[in-house]
């Protein structure tokens, strides 16, 4: 059995290697973007019944990309909180250009 990752800094490096393919990053980005759209819609409309789309979009797009594109097991199962934080972190790093959709970049200032 492999040893558990002890710091978030180590985990994020691992996370990036598990999200190295273009398709995986695109699917994660789209899923996270849809999560923000749904939350914004619920806030503006008051229609809380649409909140059930959040895990469907958030996990559905991500898990599909891991199974079909990356062909690995999502880190969510072993590191749920760090994985969730990293999903949002990667989304924003892709959005501002700190990460690229193709390849793996080393973060400039990793969180600990």
- pLDDT category at 107 given cuts 50, 70, 90 is low
Number of domains forming the structure of the chain? 1
| 89 inside domain | yes
Could you give the angle at which helices 8-17 and 80-96 cross, rounded to 10 degrees?
Answer: 70
Digit-coded pLDDT (tens) for 4-62: 999 999 999 999 999 999 999 999 999 999 999 999 999 999 999 999 999 999 999 99
What is the rounded distance in angstroms from the CA atom of residue 77 to the CA atom of residue 14?
14
| 86 inside domain | yes
1: three-class secondary structure by DSSP = coil
- pLDDT category at 98 given cuts 50, 70, 90 is very high
Whether the Cβ atoms of residue 101 and residue 94 lie closer than 8 Å to each other: yes
Query: Residue 66: which domain range?
Result: 30-96
| 82 inside domain | yes
| 72 inside domain | yes
Tokens coding 5: 């990752």
| 25 inside domain | no
- pLDDT higher than threshold 60 for residue 111: no
Tokens coding 106: 């080393």
What is the rounded distance in angstroms from the CA atom of residue 9 to the CA atom of residue 53?
30
| 111 inside domain | no
Could you tell me the CA-to-CA distances from 11 to 4, 5, 52, 62, 98 in Å, in that order? Answer: 9, 6, 28, 17, 18
| 2 inside domain | no
* Mean pLDDT score, 63-89: 95
| 61 inside domain | yes
Calculate the dihedral angle through the C-alpha atoms of 58, 111, 18, 104, rounding to the nearest 10 degrees.
110
């Amino acid at each position: 059995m492999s040893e558990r990752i002890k710091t978030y800094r180590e985990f994020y490096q691992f996370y990036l290697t598990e999200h190295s393919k273009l398709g995986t990053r695109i699917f994660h980005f789209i899923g996270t973007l849809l999560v923000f759209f749904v939350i914004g819609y619920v806030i503006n409309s008051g229609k809380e019944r649409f909140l059930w789309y959040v895990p469907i979009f958030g996990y559905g797009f991500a898990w599909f990309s891991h199974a079909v594109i990356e062909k690995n097991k999502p880190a969510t199962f072993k590191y749920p909180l760090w994985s969730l934080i990293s999903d949002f972190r990667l989304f924003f790093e892709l959005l501002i250009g700190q990460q690229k959709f193709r390849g793996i970049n080393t973060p400039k200032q990793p969180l600990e």
